[in-house]
Amino acid sequence: MSDRRVLLLAGSTEASAIAREVDGRGGYELIVSFAGRTKSRVDMPGEVRVGGFGGIDGLVTYLRAERVDALIDATHPFAATMPHHASEACRIAGVAGVRVCRPPWSPGAGDQWHAVADLDAAAAAIESLGARRVFLTTGRQELAPFAGLDDVFFLVRTIEPPDPMPLPSATVILDRGPFDLAAERRLLVDHDIDLVVSKNSGGSATAAKLEAARELGIPVVMVDRPAPAGLSTVATAADALAWLAELDQGGVVQAG
Ligand code: NAP
Domain count within the chain? 2
Do 117 and 148 fall within a single domain? yes
Do 186 and 242 fall within a single domain? no
Give the pLDDT of residue 256: 43
Do 90 and 32 fall within a single domain? yes
What torsion do the CA atoms of 195, 203, 84, 140 make, to the nearest 10 degrees? 40
Residues with CB under 6 A from ligand 1: 9-12, 33-35, 37, 52-55, 58-59, 75-76, 78-82, 85, 139, 199
Give the pLDDT of residue 42: 80
Q: Is the separation of the CB atoms in 219 and 114 below 8 Å?
A: yes
191 closest CA partner among 171, 177, 168: 171
Give the pLDDT of residue 230: 84
Residue 68 falls inside a structural domain: yes
Do 136 and 96 fall within a single domain? no
**Cβ atoms < 10 Å from Cβ of 73:** 30
Do 74 and 129 fall within a single domain? no
Task: Give me ligand 1 centre to Cα 34, in Å.
Answer: 8
Per the prediction, the chain carries an average pLDDT of 95
Do 188 and 119 fall within a single domain? yes
To test ligand 1's pocket by mutation, which of 18, 40, 82 has the most ligand atoms within 8 angstroms of CB? 82
Do 29 and 86 fall within a single domain? yes
208-216 vs 181-190: helix crossing angle, rounded to 10: 50
Residue 99 has pLDDT above 60, yes or no: yes
Please indicate whether residue 217 or residue 13 has the higher confidence score (pLDDT): 217
Residue 55 has pLDDT above 60, yes or no: yes
Do 73 and 170 fall within a single domain? no
Do 30 and 123 fall within a single domain? no
Give the ligand 1 atom nearest the CA of 142. Answer: 40
Residue 218 has pLDDT above 80, yes or no: yes
Q: Label residue 2 by pLDDT band (50, 70, 90).
A: confident
Residue 61 has pLDDT above 70, yes or no: yes
Mean pLDDT (whole number) for 128-157? 97
Residue 254 falls inside a structural domain: no
Residue 123 falls inside a structural domain: yes
Residue 47 falls inside a structural domain: yes
Do 59 and 129 fall within a single domain? no
Q: Give dist(CA 226, CA 222) in Å, integer.
A: 13
Range of the domain at 190: 113-223
Q: What's the burial of 249, exposed, middle or buried (CB within 10 Å: 0-12/13-18/19+)?
A: exposed
Residue 197 falls inside a structural domain: yes
pTM of the model: 0.92
> Which CATH number fits the domain that encloses residue 27?
3.40.50.720
Do 119 and 209 fall within a single domain? yes
Do 45 and 24 fall within a single domain? yes
Residue 33 falls inside a structural domain: yes
Q: Label residue 209 by pLDDT band (50, 70, 90).
A: very high
